[in-house]
Amino acid sequence: MKINQRNNKIESLYIHIPFCNNICTYCDFSKFIYRKDWVDKYLRSLKREFLSYNINKNEIKTIYFGGGTPSSLTCSQIRRLLLIFKDYLKIAKEITFEANPESLDVKKLKLLYSFGVNRLSLGVETFNPDILRELNRKHTNTQVKNIISKARDAGFKNINIDLIYGYKSQTLADVKKDVEEVIKLNVEHISYYSLLVEEHTKLYNQSYKPLDDDTLRNYFDYIHQVLKKNKYIHYEVSNFAKKGYKSEHNLTYWNNQQYYGIGLSASGYIGNVRYKNTNNLMKYFSNQYKYSEELVDIKDDLTYYLMLKLRLKQGFNKDEFKNKFHFDINTVEPLLNKLENHKYLHNTNNQISLTYSGMMILDDIVSELLLEIEKNYFI
């Protein structure tokens, strides 16, 4: 398939590093146990793939090193990785590096900071040692605290913590403890996910049953309420940030904007094509990067637009919607009114956005909207 017309600038670049020191029981992301020779080979392929795009360095505003565990690489491998993107790192505004607390140290922190990395994203998941053990996570709470303090000393002013709720044995008291602990760490950003039991994971094979929907909702209501009280803005379904610290990179995805994705299993969106890279490491080593490409027609684009934009507290702009899809969203006013009466949606002169209750049933609302728009538009 031919990738054509890049509309507007592409301002974001995602780089996947598929190596981890150990494999967590819940994770179905593309990753392998760290092997030095594989990482060395991988860095060569990654560089070739990156150069094949010929990306204009002045356009890139956000860069995200995700995984896998980028911090599982040795210092000299991290240096080689960063050298590939050196010129881009000098110009981009937000550069995130995902890390596991136990595989970071002062040397790596200083190295990252010296290359321009200015945002750290730490996978913490929970502060409960028993649950951490069940998940096969290897860090301790003391390591989390220490590494944050060392990151601050190294100069990092923007730190995210990933947490998960909904473990089968988790009580509301456990959730309260996790929220209390994360608030104490005073980080700028918190991603709080509900546990997904994905196929091909150890949890799935153990027939792990997560908590029921009502309990999950009850827990998230608590998380939402306490984080809000502590000045974290709930700006996306699973994400909270202090003022001025939203994840600019992830906003690219949620705003349905284009981005480059490189590395094993990475996805990207260029022009009218959304693509996915192979998750076969041997193929990737032999420079066969692509796995699939999806041509995005106007109907697909509309689906992505609603699915992604309505994840955001600010929703979407009615004029932008009209210009993009040549359809006035007010045409489906009866449905908008119904959703508004149920307190699921805000409908102002300019914007459509979901309330907190609406966000909690996002998929249902998007399906209803799409059906109604289709009745009036596509047929």
Ligand X SMILES: C[S@@+](CC[C@H](N)C(=O)[O-])C[C@H]1O[C@@H](n2cnc3c(N)ncnc32)[C@H](O)[C@@H]1O
List residues binding ligand SF4 (CB under 6 A): 20, 23-24, 27, 29, 31, 67-69, 100, 123
Q: Does 125 bind ligand X (CB under 6 A)?
A: yes
105-124 residues in contact with ligand X (CB under 6 A) are 123
Give the residue among 309, 312, 166 at the shortest CA–CA distance from 237: 312
Query: What residues form DSSP beta bridges with 20?
Result: 33
Closer CB to ligand SF4, 122 or 369, in the complex: 122
Listed ranges 195-203, 211-219, 222-230, 245-253: which one lies at the site for ligand X (CB under 6 A)? 195-203
Q: Look up residue 145 and give its amino acid.
A: K
Told to check if 195 binds ligand X by CB under 6 A, we report yes
Encoding tokens for residue 362? 């996002």
Q: Which of 87, 153, 180, 198 binds ligand X (CB under 6 A)?
A: 198
Q: Which is nearer to ligand SF4, 123 or 268 (CB)?
A: 123
User: CA distances (Å), 189 to each of 8, 160, 175, 232, in order?
Assistant: 29, 4, 18, 8
Write the secondary structure of 155-171 as one string of H (helix), E (strand) and C (coil): CCCCEEEEEEECCCCCC
- DSSP strand pairing (233-236 vs 239-241): antiparallel
To ligand SF4, the closest distance from the beta carbon of 3 in angstroms equals 29
How many binding residues for ligand X (CB under 6 A)?
16
- 164 touches ligand X (CB under 6 A): yes
Which of residues 27 and 82 has its CB atom nearest to ligand SF4 in the complex? 27
Question: Is residue 11 a contact point for ligand X (CB under 6 A)?
Answer: no
CA distance 315 to 27: 30
Closest CA to 119 of 101, 96, 92: 96
Does 248 contact ligand X by CB under 6 A?
A: no
Distances (CA, A) of 342 to 354, 356, 357: 11, 12, 9
Partner whose binding site includes residue 193, from ligand SF4, ligand X, none (CB under 5 to 8 Å by kind)? ligand X
List the beta bridge partners of residue 273: 270, 295
Using the minimum distance from each CB to ligand SF4, give the nearer residue, 27 or 78. Answer: 27
Amino acid identity of residue 150, one-letter, is K
Name 190's bridge partners: 161, 240
Residue 281 as a binder of ligand X (CB under 6 A): the answer is no
Write down the least CB distance from residue 101 to ligand X, Å. Answer: 9
Residues that bind ligand X (CB under 6 A): 20, 26-27, 29, 67, 69, 98, 100, 123, 125, 162, 164, 193, 195-196, 198
